Structure 1
Amino acid sequence: MTAADLITLRPLARGADAALLALRAGVGAFLVFGVWDNITSAEHMQAFTTFLDKFGFPWPHLLAPFDVWVQFAVGVCFVLGLLTRWAGLLCAVNFIVAIVMVDHHGGWRAAFPSMCLVLIGLYLATHGAGALSADRLLFRPRRGGLARAD
């Protein structure tokens, strides 16, 4: 190991795929866990509908289940590394809406978790899922292929 490697921690790059898997799995599990009560309980879904109505969302009775299922799907896609770029884009858009409609009322600290999810979504949308993913298994370029899906 060279002095430059020690200073820059370059050898840590060998763990990049595992770190990306951990990021995807952790964020994905968080998203699934965050909406599971709405999926399994009509009362929780109704409470979420009421919450959306309180903050002026249009058609909260339609938007609540739509948002819950989008977050669930994004979470599952992150965990599996499946359609990760699309999931990242949906995650970013979803939480931008959360910041604009709800979180900004509570200030910077209240908006920070949603902002982190926007940034993680943008990272995954632009970088893909990495080597340890369903995207890599399913969409690996064939001989003569032009683009990588990860």
Structure 2
Amino acid sequence: MTAIAAEVGSEIPVLATMVTRETLVRYAGASGDFNPIHYSDFHATALGLPGVIGHGMLTMGLALRAVTDWVQDPARVRGAFVRFTRPIPVPDDAIGAELVITGTVTKIAAGIATVALDVRHGSEKVLGMATAEVDIS
């Protein structure tokens, strides 16, 4: 593996991605998570949600994609942590919901960089305390 140039304060490239109802269907099929709040406005609103929401694990996976795009190898990720803080409402249209993921290296020790991730839908932060530990050696 080639070393990744990083230091505390380095920012990873911004990843902006769209989550559509089609994305949710594909993720449900891949993950086996067919909870109706991820495809049915009827069921989602019956539970007090604003409508269909994205899967939390999909959101986490997209956040980690920003990290793996940066290091060019998913095997470099040594660990990750997130707290799901807000659901992502996904409208039934051709556009969907935009997620914007940014990250900053907050610590480097023994060739492992800790990246603090900021994941937003509009102005709302949707993941709290999101971090990834990545082998940069």
* TM-score, with structure 2 as normaliser: 0.25
More strand by share: 2
More helix by share: 1
Higher relative contact order (CA 8 A, sep 6+): 2
* TM-score, with structure 1 as normaliser: 0.24
Q: Which of the pair has more CA radius of gyration?
A: 1
